[in-house]
Amino acid sequence: MNYIIKTEGLMCGHCDATVETALLNVVGVTDADADHEAQTVTVECSDDVTPEQLAEAVNGAGEKFRALSVQEA
């Protein structure tokens, strides 16, 4: 399953890496690629990972990060 997460708060490569790490800590996520210029994160994961889990991981990665939407890619 692939998802595109629209975000806000990603400012630089360090922000990208922080959000990617938080997403990779979700059981079932196999890849995460954040792009601060586009304010999106592309995620590959198993079918049992929910969009809510992905949004929670982004929101929990830091005070300034927010997941605005999570859509199937």
Could you tell me which residues are beta bridge partners of residue 33? 42
* Residue 51 per-residue DSSP state: H
Q: Is CATH 3.40.50.720 what the domain over 2-72 is classified as, yes or no?
A: no
Tens digits of pLDDT across the chain (73 residues): 999 999 999 999 999 999 999 999 999 999 999 999 999 999 999 999 999 999 999 999 999 999 999 999 9
Whether 44 and 5 have beta carbons less than 8 Å apart is answered as: no
